[in-house]
């Protein structure tokens, strides 16, 4: 199975790859998201280590059961050959109604078929007031005309 765009990446294809990842994660569908990763993909997410679809899918299900009304924006930071570095921010609330903006960086490495073989994520959460929310589009894909992280000065 191939997941274009394929490495080696250019500025344009790295940006496409990041937007495709953002769109998938905004679906909050663990099965759909897992399709972009190799069957034995290795992740570090915060302090949790996850390997393969058998762990990725339940990890994402737990994540989105906790992080309610999740909305994400990713932006390419750098790329080279088969690697892409992105920065991101997402907003969500917990079951008590407390809102958060989570900020982070991810390092991605892809195989020849364009599947992500490695994902290393560092993430920090900041409580925010509901009035501070910037990601208020309807759940799902971020609209094309919504400002980027840079445009929002995040």
Tens digits of residue pLDDT in 11-35? 999 999 999 999 999 999 999 999 9
Rounded mean pLDDT, 128-135: 98
Please check whether residue 93 lies inside any domain of the structure: yes
Instruction: Indicate the pairing of strand 99-110 with strand 68-80.
Output: unpaired
User: How many folded domains does the chain comprise?
Assistant: 1
Q: Summarize pLDDT for 59-105 with one digit per residue, the tens.
A: 999 999 999 999 999 999 999 999 999 999 999 999 999 999 999 99
Which range of residues forms the domain containing residue 87?
11-132
Please check whether residue 6 lies inside any domain of the structure: no
Which among 151, 148, 5 is positioned nearest to 74, based on CA atoms? 148
Please check whether residue 81 lies inside any domain of the structure: yes
Please check whether residue 4 lies inside any domain of the structure: no
Please check whether residue 86 lies inside any domain of the structure: yes
Q: How far apart are CA 123 and CA 118, in angstroms?
A: 16
Q: pTM for this one?
A: 0.97
Tokens 């008590």 correspond to 96
Please check whether residue 116 lies inside any domain of the structure: yes
Report which DSSP code applies to 154: -
Question: Residue 94's domain is classified under what CATH number?
Answer: 3.10.450.50
Contacts of 77 (CB under 8 A, 6+ apart): 85, 86, 87, 105
pLDDT at 89: 98
The token duo for 47 is 């302090």
Which among 85, 148, 77, 73 is positioned nearest to 116, based on CA atoms? 85
Which among 32, 67, 71, 83 is positioned nearest to 53, based on CA atoms? 32
**Is-contact 14 76, C-beta < 8 A?**
yes
**Is-contact 134 72, C-beta < 8 A?**
no
pLDDT at 1: 83
Instruction: Indicate the pairing of strand 48-51 with strand 99-110.
Output: unpaired
């Amino acid at each position: 199975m191939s997941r274009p765009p394929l490495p080696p990446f250019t500025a344009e294809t790295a940006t496409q790859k990041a937007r495709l990842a953002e769109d998938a994660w905004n679906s909050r569908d663990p099965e759909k998201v897992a399709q972009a990763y190799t069957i034995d993909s290795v992740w570090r997410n915060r302090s949790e280590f996850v390997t393969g679809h058998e762990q990725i899918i339940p990890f994402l299900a737990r994540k989105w059961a906790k992080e309610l009304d999740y909305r994400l924006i990713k932006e390419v930071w750098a790329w080279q050959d088969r690697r892409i570095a992105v920065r991101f921010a997402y907003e969500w609330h917990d079951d008590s109604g407390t809102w958060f903006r989570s900020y982070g960086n991810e390092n991605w490495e892809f195989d020849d078929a364009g599947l992500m073989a490695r994902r290393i994520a560092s993430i920090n959460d900041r409580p925010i007031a509901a009035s501070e929310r910037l990601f208020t589009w309807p759940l799902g894909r971020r609209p094309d005309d919504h400002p980027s992280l840079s445009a929002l000065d995040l």
